[in-house]
Chains A and B, each alone.
Chain A
Amino acid sequence: EVQLVESGGGLVKPGGSLRLSCAASGFTFSSYSMNWVRQAPGKGLEWVSSISSSSSYIYYADSVKGRFTISRDNAKNSLYLQMNSLRAEDTAVYYCARDHSSSWYPSNWFDPWGQGTLVTVSS
């Protein structure tokens, strides 16, 4: 069974940092592009970042570029999101999502998704 389990969320002050992790199992992690998508409380979905299977292609939403860094460790079947200079508007549930099909390039089709981890940025 494919599983994605996020961790690392919590309460952080504005300007602070947090590192999210996503542990993957049940599939060949190194063959799939991976993604982060967030959802502010009561709001819609927002694409955050994507990374290709070999980390050759990395993309960020304009809202987080320069502050967030996506990375992966294929040996550990893990995806990460380093978040720096956090702002109140970064408060959201952060979902880790796999690409639907294995490919060298992100497909922008997210399947499946983890259950999410809540990040709250507040003083």
Chain B
Amino acid sequence: SSELTQDPAVSVALGQTVRITCQGDSLRSYYASWYQQKPGQAPVLVIYGKNNRPSGIPDRFSGSSSGNTASLTITGAQAEDEADYYCNSRDSSGNHGVFGGGTKLTVL
């Protein structure tokens, strides 16, 4: 299967920890990457590979993977973390990219 499935919406209280998940068969073979997108803005890479953060991404963002599920964890969520989050990986051929449907994170 070349699909990645995400929960449409998740909420978290300010300062608490939230996990956003992504499921798909291809995640058994390939790492997921995660993108944050705020309204009217281009996406920003926040996690790639096993658990790598690009320069400038706060260390409260982390990634993990188990079986067919990849997770993005935000430890101590901030108001500015409210955004849409998309997972991305390769499909079963390894040559095509595929995105999850996105998760809207609300920080209460």
A-side residues, CB < 8 A to B, are 35, 37, 44-47, 50, 59-62, 95, 100, 108-116
> Cα distance A46–B2 when bound, in Å?
12
Q: Are B88 and A110 in contact (CB under 8 A)?
A: yes
> Cα distance A82–B37 when bound, in Å?
26
Q: Are B102 and A44 in contact (CB under 8 A)?
A: yes
Report chain A residues within 8 Å CB of B1: none
7 A-B residue pairs with CB within 8 Å: A44-B86, A61-B96, A100-B45, A108-B33, A108-B89, A111-B48, A114-B42
Known A-B contacts A35-B97, A45-B102; A108 and B88 likewise in contact (beta carbons under 8 Å) = yes
B-side residues, CB < 8 A to A, are 30, 33, 35, 37, 42-45, 48-49, 54, 86, 88-90, 95-102
Which residue from B48, B86, B99 sits with its C-beta under 8 Å from A109? B48
Least Cβ–Cβ distance between B95 and chain A, in angstroms: 5
Q: Are B35 and A45 in contact (CB under 8 A)?
A: yes
> Cα distance A44–B100 when bound, in Å?
8
Report chain B residues within 8 Å CB of A60: 96
Q: Counting chain B CB atoms within 10 Å of each CB, which of A108, A109, A113 scores highest?
A: A108
Majority secondary structure, B binding face = strand
Report chain B residues within 8 Å CB of A44: 86, 99-102
Report chain A residues within 8 Å CB of B86: 44-45
Residue of B nearest to A48 (CB): B97
Q: Counting chain A CB atoms within 10 Å of each CB, which of B35, B43, B44 scores highest?
A: B43
Report chain A residues within 8 Å CB of B48: 100, 109, 111
Known A-B contacts A100-B54, A108-B97, A109-B33; A45 and B43 likewise in contact (beta carbons under 8 Å) = yes
Known A-B contacts A45-B102, A108-B90; A59 and B96 likewise in contact (beta carbons under 8 Å) = yes
Residue of B nearest to A114 (CB): B42
Report chain B residues within 8 Å CB of A35: 97
Q: Counting chain B CB atoms within 10 Å of each CB, which of A62, A111, A114 scores highest?
A: A111
